[in-house]
Copies of this chain bind each other. A is one copy, B any other.
Amino acid sequence: ASVALSCNFFGLKSIIFMTRDSYLKKPYRVNLMQLAKAIVYPSPSNATKCGRKLYKENPNHSGSLGIGMGEAMEFVRSSSKYRLALGCMSYYAALHQTIIGLETQAQLKSVNIKPDIMIACVGGGSNFVGFTAPFIGEKLKKKNKIRFLAVESANIPSLTKGTYKYDYQDYYGYTPMVKMLTLGHKFVPPQLHSGGLRYHGKTPILSLLVTKGVVEPHSIKQEDAFIANKIFYETEGVLAAPESGHAIAQTILEAKKAKRAKKTPAIIFCLSGNGFLDLAGYAKVFGLHTTELYHEKKSSNHE
């Protein structure tokens, strides 16, 4: 959605290849991009040769970020007028997102808090890197002793169970290879409400930092992420995206661990997105209904 909006700001036309599973689970996110004049395809789509093949084999293919990336790459190669822009995983996406880390740094300074633990969720890794980069820079210069926790989905465990090797960034092998922690570019992740976390690898800079022990990899199950989000909503009044719930669940774990150890670390986590566009997922996970519930029950007694 950010790419679509940015293109529209600068009078550029955007064509989005959105993972089919996310496209179906988050129709209003599609509408949001369309409002910014984007053309949005559920990937695998029939807009490219490579997508068409997978789509014909299985019209219910849930897709993956790697497949969408491959389709976009084929599309871009078809005309010199096109350029590729990735929403995550790329270095420039991570670079743009460092604004989050720089703002966090300024805010913490203004309230005189030094973080002990920093936590963010990880799909491609750009949000995590953007949030932590300024602090990791300091740590590498031995100016802090912060623990950095990157939290992936337990269903796409490239950080915790992947291999550190050269691999393609997309499903088809159109993109340059990069060295990263990966489950293999042919890995098709299961359907998930946290569509943003469904990527087979992690951005090279994060993969290196994990390999070197600077960043701790963790994984959280989708159910636990939703429960954490519900607790957060009930206590703070803010509804977070399912992706962000992975960071919140890990934060709760760390807070409980600290309490048991009678310690009081400053734990800072990144709330990467709001959950208003994911209420269909919430409704499914928690069995919420609207009219159905109303018509089914006799309601004169509420005690």
Chain A residues in the interface with B (C-beta under 8 A): 5, 8-9, 15, 23-24, 27-28, 30-32, 34-37, 39-42, 45-47, 230, 233-234, 237, 239, 274, 276-277, 279-280, 282-283, 286, 288, 290-291, 294, 298-300, 302
Contacts and interface: CB of A to CB of B under 8 A. Distances in A.
A302 B28 contact: no
Contact of A234 (B28, B36, B279): B36
Q: Which 5 A-B pairs have the closest CB atoms?
A: A276-B276, A28-B279, A27-B290, A47-B299, A31-B288
A5 B237 contact: yes
Nearest to A29: B279
A35 B227 CA distance: 11
A28 B283 contact: yes
A233 B36 contact: yes
Nearest to A294: B42
Copies of this chain per assembly: 2
A166 to B, nearest CB: 33
Given A47-B302, A300-B47, A302-B47, A35 B274 contact: no
A193 B8 CA distance: 26
Contacts of A40: 290
Contact of A35 (B27, B288, B291): B288
A42 B291 contact: yes
Contacts of A31: 279, 282-283, 288, 290
Given A31-B279, A230-B35, A41 B290 contact: no
Nearest to A2: B237
A283 B31 CA distance: 6
B302 A15 contact: yes
Contacts of A298: 46
Nearest to A301: B47
A271 to B, nearest CB: 15
A291 B24 contact: yes
Contacts of A234: 8-9, 35-37
Contacts of A23: 290-291
Nearest to A229: B35
20 contacts: A5-B237, A8-B234, A9-B234, A23-B290, A23-B291, A24-B291, A28-B276, A28-B280, A30-B290, A31-B288, A34-B286, A34-B288, A35-B230, A35-B286, A41-B294, A42-B291, A46-B298, A46-B300, A274-B276, A277-B279
